[in-house]
Amino acid sequence: MSDASQLSRTATRRQALGTIALAALAATVPTLAASQSNAGPSGQRLLRIGHQKGLLSLLKARGTLEQRLAELGARVTWTEFNAGPVQLEALNVGAIDFGDVGEAPPIFAQAAGAPLAYVASSPPRPRLEALIVPADSPIQSVADLKGKRLAYNKGSNVHFFLVKPLEKHGLKYSDVSSVFLPPADARAAFERGAVDGWLIWDPFLAAAEVSLGARQIADATGVVNNRNFYFSCRAFVEQNGDIIAAAIDSLNTLDQWVSQHREAAAEELAQILGLPNAVVLRYLQRNTFGVLPISEEVLDEQQEIADTFASLRLIPKPVNVRGNAA
């Protein structure tokens, strides 16, 4: 079995297991919240992290956060998700306390009433998401997308990314046919030609380029900043500010190391994710690193996304993002 096929099957299994787990959590969350209350054995505090494939995976494997939290009398658990919207569903049902997500998922979560609190962000990372097509596709630019079928994960960072390039080229959101699929299913549809293009983020993006020869039509450069956000819920931040600060500091330390040792980091992360080294190295080479506080500039960017989604009726009501800044 090829590396690409293995990645797709593994992601599909994890997606299915994650969906089942979330359904069970949603049904039992009152009991879960009452029994855990962010505390472990003998009253030890607990940080439950939800993460995607990326640098949080490396932090988990190294165990450095566990060491930091032990000094604070706390421990950590980890759950992997295939996309941001599912992570924020987990936050909404009280199953996780902290995680990483792109720009758009928090807007959908806020519109749904999730107790989200922004706690930090990354610098802009526009090269980590792109619209790709098969190598032999006649599509050469965004202007060629009218009437085309595009696969992407509903509510993820690429949802907003799609809107902005279309506007830039005089097209409307309704000019394309959206096919909402999670990454593993979207890749399968892309491979068999069931869709004309795929909007996706790294490392799935790099995997499609390396193993499928996919061709980029556009990344987010010049249209969307594509920041990464670290989130929690307000109650957890208010009661465990020292734990959140330790997590953010540990992430920033790791980010700085990776930025200076990309090849070594790629080799280490490739083993953790089960991806070819060439895929992970491509992802890290176009990444930007650092963990930043939530600024007015960042909140303005998020408010633009919220207002855009409200105008397109992608969310049921307007959202004030400043109400969710920690």
Same domain, 7 and 132: no
Q: Is residue 279 part of a domain?
A: no
Tens digit of each residue's pLDDT (9 = 90 or more) over 253-297:
999 999 999 999 999 999 999 999 999 999 999 999 999 999 999
Whether 232 and 101 map to the same domain: the answer is yes
Shared domain for 176 and 36, answered yes or no, is no
163 shares its domain with 257: no
Does position 84 have pLDDT exceeding 90, yes or no? no
How far apart, in Å, are the Cα atoms of 15 and each of 8, 80, 124, 186, 301? 10, 9, 28, 13, 30
- Output the domain CATH number for residue 207: 3.40.190.10
Query: Do 68 and 246 form a contact (C-beta atoms < 8 A)?
Result: yes
Q: What is the DSSP string of 155-221?
A: TSHHHHHHHHHHHHTT--GGGSEEEE--HHHHHHHHHTTSSSEEEEETTHHHHHHHHH--EEEEEST
Res 40: pLDDT:
52
In-domain check, residue 7: yes
pLDDT band at 58 (very low <50, low <70, confident <90, very high): very high
Q: Which helix (H) or strand (E) holds 254?
A: helix 241-260
Residues 110 and 23 in one domain: yes
Residue 36 has pLDDT above 50, yes or no: no
What confidence score (pLDDT) does residue 322 get?
87
Alpha carbon separation from 154 to 77, 91, 150, 157, 180 (Å, rounded): 27, 18, 11, 9, 5
Q: What is the pLDDT of residues 108-131, one digit of tens each?
A: 999 988 889 999 999 999 999 999
Look at residue 230 in the predicted model and tell me its pLDDT. Answer: 96
In a domain, 309, yes or no: yes
Per the structure, the complete domain to which residue 310 belongs is given by: 3-125+226-271+288-324
pLDDT of residue 37: 42
Please state the rounded mean pLDDT for residues 138-151: 97
**In the predicted model, what is the mean pLDDT of residues 40-45?**
68
Read off the pLDDT band of 149 (50, 70, 90). very high
Return the structure tokens found at 269: 């992360």
308 touches 163 (CB < 8 A) = yes
Cβ(305)–Cβ(107) below 8 Å? yes
Is the confidence at residue 325, as pLDDT, over 80?
Answer: no
Report yes or no on whether pTM surpasses 0.85: no
Q: Is 237 helix (H, G, I), strand (E, B) or coil?
A: helix
Rounded (10°) CA dihedral 12, 17, 22, 24: 150
| Structure tokens that stand for 3 in this block | 């590396």
Per-residue pLDDT at 85: 87
Q: Name the domain boundary from 219, 241, 258.
A: 219
* Residues 236 and 114 grouped into a single domain: yes
What is the rounded CA–CA span in Å between residue 99 and residue 105? 12
Q: What is the mean pLDDT of residues 53-70?
A: 94
Give me the residue label for tokens 């590396």: 3
Domain limit, last residue, from 204, 219, 234:
219
246 contact partners, CB below 8 Å, separation of at least 6: 65, 68, 69, 72
pLDDT confidence bin for 41, thresholds 50/70/90: low
User: Does 63 share its domain with 196?
Assistant: no
Same-domain status, 161 and 203: yes
Domain identity same for 108 and 235: yes
Dist. CA 298–CA 314, nearest whole Å: 21
Decide the pairing of beta strands 197-201 and 129-133: antiparallel
Do 61 and 34 share a domain, yes or no? yes
Q: Among the listed ranges 137-146, 157-166, 258-267, which one has the minimum average pLDDT value?
A: 157-166
| CB-based contact 200:150 (threshold 8 Å) | no
**Domain annotation covers residue 277:** no
What integer best gives the mean pLDDT of the chain? 87
- Per-residue pLDDT tens digits for 287-322: 999 999 999 999 999 999 999 999 989 999 999 998
pLDDT for the residue numbered 38: 58
Answer whether residue 33 shows pLDDT above 80: no
Say if residue 245's pLDDT is above 60.
yes
Residue 100 and residue 231 in one domain: yes
The answer as to whether 282 is a domain residue is no
Q: Is residue 29 situated within a structural domain?
A: yes
DSSP single-letter state for residue 122 = P
pLDDT band at 326; cut points 50, 70, 90: low
pLDDT score recorded for residue 17: 32
In total, how many domains does the chain have? 2
How far apart CA 9 and CA 60 sit, in angstroms, is 23
